[in-house]
Structure 1
Amino acid sequence: MKLVILGGGGFRVPLVYRALLADRSPGRVTEVALFDLDPGRLAAIGVVLAELAARVPDAPAVTTSTDLDEAVRGADFVFSAIRVGGLEGRAADESVAAGCGVLGQETVGAGGVVYGLRTVPVALDIARRISELAPEAWVINFTNPAGMVTEAMSAHLGHRVIGICDSPVGLGKRVARAAGVTLEDAWLDYAGLNHLGWLRGVHVAGRDVLPDLLADAARLESFEEGKLFGAEWLRSLGAIPNEYLHYYYFTREAVEAGASRGAFLLEQQKRFYAAPSWESWDRTRLEREQTYMAETRDEERDSDDLDGGGYERVALDLMHAIASDKRTTLILNVPNRTTLRCLDSEAVVEVPSLVDANGARPISVSQVPDEGVGLVTTLKVVERATIKAAISGERAHAVKALALHPLVDSVNVARRIVDTHPLLQRFSTP
């Protein structure tokens, strides 16, 4: 089976390959084709993968290419993990937003909109070419903003594109551990959009163990989200929010923190790509995980959350369920159908989904909390406005997408971001 990884020179690719090496299931991947526009990054990741493969006699063969058509032909699955503009673009997103006094995080607020504006046109072109060159391939989208990009790509790929994120399963793992149950035995009642969801129940053998956890402050504040939001706030919500909701519930504090994750990662990864090896990659990965959302914490991240093994495991579970018709349930980004009443049927949502050879279908869950409905519907409007702006290239549409976001509090700020961002020059003419 052939797997294509778009953004094959990306830093997290070894996580996927390491998971493939450990996979002994029937129908496993035997060929991995890495595509990237940067041959230097491809070569660096190739060094790391070769070191990993040297320990495994039947490791999947790895090929590299800077030609998208060449890489995609004959694909069974395509992992899309591109970063349009690179980390330099992410750093610019953050610094421009910060200079305007608003949040610049890459998937939340101004940063997320700007990232979407430059990513959607590229993602759409990729979707068109996959539909022509590998029409039977399934596309698993990692590219952020994941929900927005998945919805855009579905215009050409239909149900054959599915978005994934490791945030919900990471949240579920931490909550299950705090509740004294195993994630494998639990069903997570989770609803929302990508980076904008709430865990509303943890069901084990027909019983929801979340209320007991919410009633125990010590256990509730023993894991990352409990520390992040505090027991009092979580009890008032009656749910555990995705960690990215910190940026909405504590907006002033997040803006004041002013952390530039993109600039940090840019400098960190420059060192790795200059002298690539498995050892330097793993050291850099650990530092990356330790500093994840560091601006929101007063202490070091729990060691249980530093082992990686998030999105790549979700991706492999999804791939196996489709390829082997092995029914499983995963939290995915899929068209809503009738799952969340506050959104239309075509809106891509992040909810538990039943997966088999026919793809992924959302299943019944609790609705978005009442106080989250307005936020979810507004953000879906923003996502679609961003897609429209990205396709049209018109300044007015780009300004509108930014101005509609609840974390961008001024039309004039939206105009200033569009007109001063170095990677939005195609939108800068009134």
Structure 2
Amino acid sequence: MQKDRLKIAVIGGGSSYTPELIDGLIRYYDQFPVTELILVDIEQGADKLRIIGDLAQRMITASGKPIKLHTTMDRREAIRGADFVTTQIRVGMLDARSRDEKIPLSYGLIGQETTGAGGFAKALRTIPVILDICREIEELAPDAFLINFTNPAGLVTEAVNKHTKVKSVGLCNLPIDTKMQIAELYDVNQEDLFIEMVGINHLNWTTKVVIDGKDQTEDFLKKIAGASGFSMKNIPDLEWDSQFISSVGALPCAYHRYYYMKDEMFREMNSKFQETGKTRADDVKEVEAELFELYKKPELVSKPPQLEKRGGAYYSEAAVQLMKSIYNDSGDIQVVNVRNGGIISCLPDEVSIEVNCVIKSDGPHPISLSKALPPQIRGLLQIVKAYEELTVQAAVFGDYNAALQALTIHPLIGDEQLAKSLLSEILVQNEAYLPQFKNA
């Protein structure tokens, strides 16, 4: 894919995450020489885009890298002729996220941005907008890769793969963060470590750990049993029970705590909400306000360490490594969201999965699993994937029946009357963002 000119369009350029991306593009410029970078946002994000654009330009100028930066509200012009389009959008902004978290809590359920009823609501708002972006990519940059970091990333990837011709890869910072933590645990370089991850976005398991060619999976599971760690900044770091980890036979990702420790996680969330009236979304609003005050400072020419509080740590590593590997036809292994195509035999071919892939110039190539999934992994995976299939159908077509079934079968809900009440409230609270449901 080597080219004299390399254009990247960032949809949602006014995001507080963007300095992470700029940092990565600067650090990896010699292997991924971006010539044109376009940050685009909507009118409601104009002020943030201006602040981010100014900071990004200061970062680029200080680095001495010849990257031409532009900011715009014209999404079509940003996409036109791009080699890569990245998406990091939040439809409805943080106010919508706050509702996503608080509505389930009012029903005695976990309220989380990407999991359960909260993730469902976000998917309904987000998928149609991403598909609109994809139609513009098909028209204006048909050879471009879409690198999607917008949550829920797995659902978005599945919708794009099922309903567009865009070359899409879903991305999450959880896999790269997990690999970094395992490397730190064993005090080894990441280059000497191989991990096999299998599942779907925010529901994957680390099933194999190999260090310097030696399988250390059994030793690794003993080390983490009964220990904290291996969580994300937005998820309470509750310890894994040693007997439970042994029975799973794999490391569950941080988001599994919502399934395996459902009652305890709800108590943590609800206790905070009852005491303060706040959820994680409200915390993020405060962090973002602090970040944008920092971003305004003319002396700031690098990403501030406070950005890690936002939960976006290593975003630039994941995003830039992926684009760099495609650009250079590297053939290295990364964990990304792609079409299943028979890799996980217990799931349909056309759904999205999150697995190890060899990254080539034509995109990711999923690697066959080292062993079949045991029932304790397969069972939870299949039901959550069925929920995702129904949610994509509901989001694309405004299918009320699919939406109702999606909520009913989700393990964090599991009751048809509760699901019906939740769905009604979600549709009412998000009416402005859900025109596909106008006849529901």
Give TM-score, length-normalised by structure 1: 0.89
Match of 1:311 in 2: 315
CA contact (8 A) 1:105 1:112 kept: yes
| 2:287 aligned with 1:268 | yes
Compute the displacement of 1:283 (Å): 5.5
**For residues 333 and 138 of structure 2, what CA distance do their matches in structure 1 show?**
26
Task: Return the match for 2:149 from 132, 142, 147.
Answer: 142
Residues 1:132 and 2:154 aligned together: no
**Are the counterparts in 2 of residues 150 and 161 from structure 1 also a CA contact under 8 Å?**
yes
Q: Which amino acid aligns with 2:307?
A: R
Partner of 1:237: 248
Residue 62 of structure 1 deviates from its aligned partner by 1.3
1:390 maps onto 2:395 in alignment:
yes
- Name the SS of the counterpart of 1:174 in structure 2: helix
Correspondent of 1:60 among 67, 74, 79: 67
Distance 1:26 1:54 in 2: 19
Question: Residue 421 of structure 2 aligns with which residue?
Answer: 416
- Once structures 1 and 2 are overlaid, which stretch shifts more, 70-79 or 419-428? 419-428
The answer for unaligned runs of 5 or more in structure 2 is 1-5, 232-236, 273-278
CA 159–130 in structure 1, closer or farther in 2 if over 3 Å, else same:
closer
Matched with 1:182 is 189
Q: Which of residues 221, 240, 262 in structure 1 aligns to 2:227?
A: 221
Q: Aligned partners of 1:222, 1:179: CA distance in 2, in Å?
A: 16
Code of the residue aligned with 1:253 in structure 2: it is E
What is the percentage of aligned positions where both structures have the same residue?
A: 33
Cα deviation, 1:271-291, whole Å, max 9, x if unaligned, reads 4446733659725414335xx
C-alpha offsets along residues 185-216 of structure 1, whole Å, 9 cap, x if unaligned? 12211110001011011113432112123234
* CA contact 1:419–1:428 (8 Å) conserved in 2: no
Q: Show the 5 A alignment for 1:250-261.
A: 250-258=261-269, 260-261=279-280
Contact persistence 2:7–2:84 (CA under 8 A): yes
Matched, 1:3 2:22: no
Report the 3-state secondary structure (helix = DSSP H, G, I; strand = E; otherwise coil) of the residue aligned with 2:64: coil
Aligned counterpart for 1:90 among listed residues 90, 97, 115 = 97
Pair 1:24 & 2:29 matched: yes
1:232 CA drift (Å) = 3.2
Q: 1:215-261: per-residue Cα shift (whole Å, max 9, x none)?
A: 3468x726435963243322222211111101100011111112511
The amino acid that maps onto 1:98 is L
Letter in 2 for 1:133: L
Q: Given the two structures, how large is their TM-score scaled by the length of structure 2?
A: 0.87
Q: Give the direction of change, closer, same or farther, for the CA distance of 1:288–1:375 in structure 2 (3 Å limit).
A: same
Offset from partner CA, 1:325-353 (integer Å, 9 cap, x none): 22111011011122111112222110000
Report what 1:300 is aligned to.
none
**Alpha carbons of structure 1 residues 188 and 249: separation in structure 2 relative to 1, 3 Å:** same
User: Post-superposition shift, 1:165?
Assistant: 0.8
Distance 2:223 2:31 in 1: 44
The aligned counterpart of 1:51 is 58
Q: Does 1:287 align with 2:309?
A: yes
SS of residue matched to 1:228: coil
1:255–1:202 CA distance, 2 compared to 1 (3 A): same
CA contact (8 A) 2:209 2:220 kept: no
Given that residues 36 and 68 in structure 2 are in contact (C-alpha distance below 8 angstroms), is that contact kept between their aligned partners in structure 1? yes
> What's the CA shift for 1:399?
2.2
C-alpha contact (below 8 Å) 1:395/1:428 kept by paired residues: no
Tell me the residue number matched to 2:353.
Answer: 349
Q: CA deviation at 1:27?
A: 4.7
Residues 94 and 111, structure 1, Cα contact 8 Å, conserved in 2: yes
Find the residue that maps to 1:229 and give its secondary structure.
Answer: coil
Aligned to 1:301: none
Number of aligned positions between the proteins? 411
Tell whether the 8 Å contact from 2:137 to 2:166 is kept in structure 1 after alignment: no
Bigger shift: residues 152-161 or 250-259: 152-161
Deviation at 1:159, TM superposition (A): 6.6
Deviation of the 1:26 alpha carbon: 4.4
1:41-66 per-position Cα deviation (integer Å, ceiling 9, x unaligned): 21121122133123122242211111
Shift in CA distance, 187/158, structure 1 to aligned 2, threshold 3 Å: farther
Give 2:386's aligned residue: 381
